[in-house]
Copies of this chain bind each other. A is one copy, B any other.
Amino acid sequence: MLNINDIILGDCLEELKHLEEESVDMVYLDPPFFTQYTQVLSDKEGNTYEFEDSWKCIDEYLEYISERLIECRRVLKKTGSIFVHCDRNASHYLKVEMDKVFGMNNFQSEIVWSYKRWSNSKKGLLNNHQIILFYSKTKDFQFNTLYTDYSETTNVDQIMQDRIRDKDGKAKYKLDENGNTIMGQAKKGVPLSDVWEIPYLNPKAKERVGYPTQKPIILLEQIIKLSTKKGDIVLDPFAGSGTTLVAAKILDRNYIGIDRSKDAVELAKKRITEQIKTESGLLKKGKKAYQNLDEKSLSIIKSINAIPVQRNSGIDGFLKEYIEDGMIAIRVQRDEETLNETIQKIEKACRRKPCPYRVVIRTHSDFIDTVNSSNLDSKLIIIDQYDLQIMNKISESKN
């Protein structure tokens, strides 16, 4: 018997044999990838982690995985599930193996973990997702439906209102005696989809322990919440830096971890005692918190040849057109702003930046005379919105 809440050093094929059958509630499997050479990756302290994943061919790799999958299935309870993190180049072969071991009928979902990431010059599309296969052992698997917020375009009233069917089977809103719609019970939200947008572990995140391929804790938390309840046992046969185990501990689940690398086991043990979880501002506050551009300003920026920029309170975007040695910053005057305020904002934002020219789009004519023209240099360009220009020309033509 393996101890619960421990990380074992060893090959999971051997170690799993010490585990009783049908004793585990969930398995998260993040196996080494299929690369045909030995990879040595190192963290910032200079520790190296060697992946001995040098397989002669894909079949040898698949046999390696398959043997371990069979053991995983054996130790899983009848109500258990398994989540397999896939290699981009071998995911399809992996799924074929999964079908063999767990059965096509027990395939539940192909989860897409999608994220934005720093780019690097590449011909083709940016690689911004990974696949996690979700299989159950039987059809009576444990599953907790999670709910997300309704999408912004959904008509909430429509969700809230009760409906009945008339005699033709058509659905209608239920009305009370006064003809008003009746509100139904508040619904919980939309059931979780199989596409998960979770930020990639940032280079500067405290959560990072330096282990390559480290996954965000939130990703594992979501998997654990879906498939287990408190007190259940989570197994990670390729524990690595121990993210799964940390997530299990945070959520009051029990865990068993196995890894071949001594460094990894030590790192994981240390990590569990001092859990550090990054508070992702992006997930917590949402994208909206960073958006400084309202719909109108955004449409103006986009209508010309310019790139919008959200996370800056003074600059709305840059012209794509390039002048000698610099970019041209643009700001659209907001409805509640005087022209002076708009100018101050863009000037402040550009103060320490190499902006040879700043452009303000004036959207309304109030307070024009409050602009202190002595402060303006020729590098600040003020352009009137089209309708202002049109009205000007019309009054000119009348005189």
Q: Which residues of A contact B (CB under 8 A)?
A: 88-89, 91-93, 95-96, 99, 104, 107-112, 114, 116, 119, 121-129, 131, 134, 143, 145, 149-157, 159-161, 180-195, 226, 281-282, 287, 290-291, 296, 299-300, 302-312, 315, 318-323, 325-328, 349, 352-355, 357, 359, 361, 378-379, 381, 383, 385-387, 389-391, 393-394, 397
Residues on B with C-beta less than 8 A from A156 are 309, 311-312, 315, 349, 353
Say whether A104 contacts B89, CB under 8 Å.
yes
Are A125 and B159 in contact (CB-based, < 8 A)? no
Chain B CB within 10 Å — which of A195, A305, A328 has the most? Answer: A195
Within the complex, what minimum Cβ distance (angstroms) separates A174 from chain B?
Answer: 10
Question: Does the CB pair B116–A193 fall under 8 Å?
Answer: yes
Closest B residue by C-beta to A295 = B302
Residues from chain B with a CB closer than 8 A to the CB of A394 are 323, 328, 357, 381
Return the contact of A110 from the options B88, B95, B303, B381 (Cβ within 8 A).
B88
Please name all residues of chain B whose beta carbon is closer than 8 Å to the beta carbon of A355 when the two chains form the complex: 160
- If A134-B125, A383-B386 touch, does A119 touch B320 (CB 8 Å cutoff)? no
User: In the bound complex, do residue B194 and residue A125 qualify as a contact, i.e. CB atoms below 8 Å apart?
Assistant: yes
Sample of 6 further A-B pairs with CB below 8 A, known A91-B110, A323-B394: A92-B92, A92-B96, A150-B307, A156-B311, A188-B307, A306-B387
* Interchain residue pairs A-B with the least CB separation, the first 9: A152-B290, A92-B92, A92-B95, A128-B193, A186-B322, A378-B397, A125-B194, A152-B310, A299-B303
A392 CA to B302 CA, complexed, in Å: 20
| Interchain CA distance A361-B111 in the complex, whole Å | 39
CB of A218 to closest CB in B, whole Å: 16
A393: B residues at CB distance < 8 A: 381, 383
A195–B309 touching, CB < 8 Å: no
B96:A154 contact, CB within 8 angstroms: no
Q: Look across to chain B and name the residue whose beta carbon is closest to the beta carbon of A309.
A: B156
A134–B107 alpha-carbon span in the complex (Å):
24
Q: Are B150 and A188 in contact (CB under 8 A)?
A: no
Question: How far is B290's CA from A57's CA once the two chains are assembled, in angstroms?
Answer: 51
Indicate which residue in B145, B154, B310, B379 contacts A397 across the interface (CB closer than 8 Å): B379
Nearest to A123 among chain B residues (CB) is: B143
**Complex partner residue of A129 from B121, B195, B379, CB under 8 angstroms:** B195
A306 (CB) vs chain B CBs: closest residue? B387
